[in-house]
Amino acid sequence: MTHGFVELVPFRTDYGAKFLGTIKVGPAQLHGNIGYLKAGKSRDAFGIDYGTVAPACDTTEAGWDGDSTSRRSFIDSIELHRNDPASSYYGYWVHPAARMTVAREDQVLWGAGLEIAAGPYVTFLVEAHGEKYKSAAYLWGSPAVVTPGIRFKSPGGFTIDGGCEFKLAPHAASPDWNALFGFSVTTGTLSKRVKLVTDGTLAGTVIDKETGKPVRGVTITAVDTAGKALATVKAGGKTRPAVVVTDSTGAFSLLLPAKRIKALRAELKGYVTRDVKVAIQPAQVNQAVVELAKVEVPRGFIAGKVADAKTGLPVRALLTFAGTDFQPIPNDTGNGTYTIGMSPGSYKVIITAAGYNPDSSEYVVENKKTTPKDFALRMIPKKGERFVLRGLNFAPNKAVITDGSVLF
């Protein structure tokens, strides 16, 4: 916007806009801007007529005595000696003011800069900027400069800037060079009080300790310094949940007060509940990985082989556990072996096989142990088949088997 005495401003209001951008990588910052200036229309106003010279004293009254003849004589003396450095009248000539209309053009505004911090108190800078007139090129006939510089900062808020501005191209409409210097002082007296951030984000993942895969549906609860599981917390200026459930990737996130929270509690049926200590840094995203181990179920095994009592060949059979909800379990059809995992306890197993008499046995399963048990099944005799029983003793003249008989 223009301001001041209207007759001294040779144009109407200019309008323009700039788009600014910054990219920060480590200690370096890259700035860029692009814009456009819509030039206000020219108008008749006073300006400096550089094509004319006039005596500097010609703007005074008619003369010391008010006589126009004396004034004319004084001006003639100035004209006579204006180019003589030894004369007291040297330099009395100036470019006069005159009414004029200045030609004006729209401009493309551009610039780019690079800042590199060499430490907490020193920054190196270099920037280039210009104003491209509509009828001129960027580096020909338009202002364009490059400015290297350095900035010194102090902990107390005192900053000194120094640099030198150089013409970016030989035909740019800018001075060949221009030294720059400036300083600034900042103070917190009038600045808005900044509220101290005491909350931090805790983001993490829950994985299976054995497989390393993410675990879904784990309830994560914040635990305070007194060891109490919390339902809600005050964070970010309002009351928030202190409990969250992991998603399909095992991930979770909570905004928590840094000084109040000391641990996270992870719970899921089938896994051992675990408290994990955490340290939350304010105004940061704090990462955590929680490993959960599955609940160990007491388990033992029975193992053995089912074979033909006479030939020793493997027999395909079913093992049924009396008094349980277990479905009958087949043994291996190739070699007759079996291995079955079961909870510790006492069991009665019944072995059945097509063409064989059933057999049964009782045994005890112990945790983390394998109980061996082999079965030898006898074939069911066929009609008309002759078989011999050995080891049977009968009482004299009676069909009574004595107690000492052993069948083999």
> Mind listing the pLDDT tens digit of every residue in the chain (408 residues)?
444 455 667 778 888 899 999 999 888 899 999 999 898 888 877 777 777 766 655 544 444 444 555 555 555 555 555 555 555 555 555 667 777 777 788 999 999 999 998 888 899 999 998 888 888 888 888 888 899 999 998 877 789 999 999 988 888 777 888 898 888 887 654 455 656 778 999 999 999 999 999 999 999 999 999 999 999 999 888 999 999 999 999 999 999 998 899 999 999 999 999 999 999 999 899 999 999 999 988 889 999 999 999 999 999 999 999 988 889 999 887 899 999 998 899 999 999 999 999 999 998 999 989 999 999 999 988 776 666 666 667 777 777 777 765 555
Whether residue 301 sits in one domain with residue 288: no
Whether residue 256 sits in one domain with residue 314: no
163 and 138 Cβ atoms separated by less than 8 Å: no
Structure-token match 């003369």, residue found: 63
* Residue after which a domain boundary falls, among 238, 269, 292: 292
Closest C-alpha to 241, from 253, 249, 231, 251? 231
* Residue after which a domain boundary falls, among 257, 292, 327: 292
Whether residue 129 sits in one domain with residue 80: no
153 and 135 Cβ atoms separated by less than 8 Å: no
Residue 259 lies in a domain: yes
Task: For residue 260, give both structure tokens.
Answer: 């109040």
* Residue after which a domain boundary falls, among 185, 216, 235: 185
Residue 393 domain boundaries: 297-408
Whether residue 168 sits in one domain with residue 27: yes
The domain that holds 275 is classified in CATH as 2.60.40.10
Whether residue 122 sits in one domain with residue 108: yes
Distances (CA, A) of 391 to 313, 346, 380, 394, 408: 25, 33, 19, 10, 6
Whether residue 241 sits in one domain with residue 275: yes
Residue 378 lies in a domain: yes
Structure-token match 């200690």, residue found: 27
Whether residue 398 sits in one domain with residue 288: no
Domain total in the chain? 4
CA angle 276, 279, 283 (to 5 degrees): 135
Running DSSP on this structure, what letter comes out for residue 151?
Answer: E
Residue 340 lies in a domain: yes
Nearby residues of 253 by Cβ (< 8 Å), 6 or more positions away: 201, 202, 203, 204, 244
Nearby residues of 139 by Cβ (< 8 Å), 6 or more positions away: 130, 168, 169, 171, 172
Burial group, residue 11, by CB count within 10 angstroms (0-12, 13-18, 19+): middle
DSSP 297-316: PP-EEEEEEEEETTT--B--
Whether residue 90 sits in one domain with residue 28: no
Residue 161 lies in a domain: yes
Residue 171 lies in a domain: yes
Going by their DSSP bridges, the two strands 300-308 and 370-372 should be labelled as parallel
Residue 48 lies in a domain: no
